[in-house]
Amino acid sequence: MPETGYSHAGLGFGFEVPQGWTLDLDSANPRFPVIISMRSNTERIMVAIRATLTVNSAERATSMKDELAARGIDAKPVAAALSFPGTGNVATVEFQIGGQQQQWISMVTNGVEFSFTHTGSYEIVRKGLEHIAATFRMPQAEQARQFLIARAPQSPQARAEDLERMSHFQRVAARFNVPPAKRPGKRSE
């Protein structure tokens, strides 16, 4: 069975949908402008996309852990199990729901956070997530920035401030989008 590609015209990113999985949903909500869902039997992988100013993976892992703790879920940051072409900026937390191991994976590039979550056991969806990560095509910075800012409901003044903040962020983020082995004076993420 041939693989199906997913491409988001507005953000300019894409990936190959794993064999045996089908695209289920492409929608928006106030917190995440884009949500993509794939399903296979009873398992589901969700990809939520939003603008972010938090490039440090350790800070994101702590924030993710705190967000789950606020919902009564005990989580712990773990070493990133997924590798995305073009960035080493991945944060992962692990937790249990209904006795099943879960992972929440956050990857940031060019001011855009891609947040991967799933239903069912991580061991069941692991191969699907690995395939998505291996075939992931990163968005172009300016295209993604313009799309996310245009989707944000705010005043013209706030939008102008966001444009300036995102421009500054992209200069800072460029340092973090270089693979760790090529960074001068290796910095912790």
Give strand ranges (E) for the chain: 4-8, 13-17, 22-27, 34-40, 43-51, 75-78, 90-97, 100-109, 112-119
pLDDT at 32: 58
Q: Which residue has the higher pLDDT, 40 or 27?
A: 40
| pLDDT class of 181 with cuts at 50, 70, 90 | very low
- Beta-bridge mates of residue 38: 23, 45
CA distance 176 to 41: 37
| pLDDT beyond 70 at 60 | yes
* Average pLDDT of the chain to the nearest whole number: 75
Strands 90-97 and 100-109: what pairing?
antiparallel
| pLDDT beyond 90 at 105 | yes
φ/ψ (deg, to 5) at 96: -120, 135
| pLDDT class of 33 with cuts at 50, 70, 90 | low
- Beta-bridge mates of residue 78: 92
pLDDT at 75: 93
pLDDT at 61: 92
Q: Please state the rounded mean pLDDT for residues 88-112.
A: 87
| pLDDT beyond 60 at 180 | no
Which percentage of the chain shows pLDDT scores above 70? 72
pLDDT at 182: 40
| pLDDT beyond 50 at 95 | yes
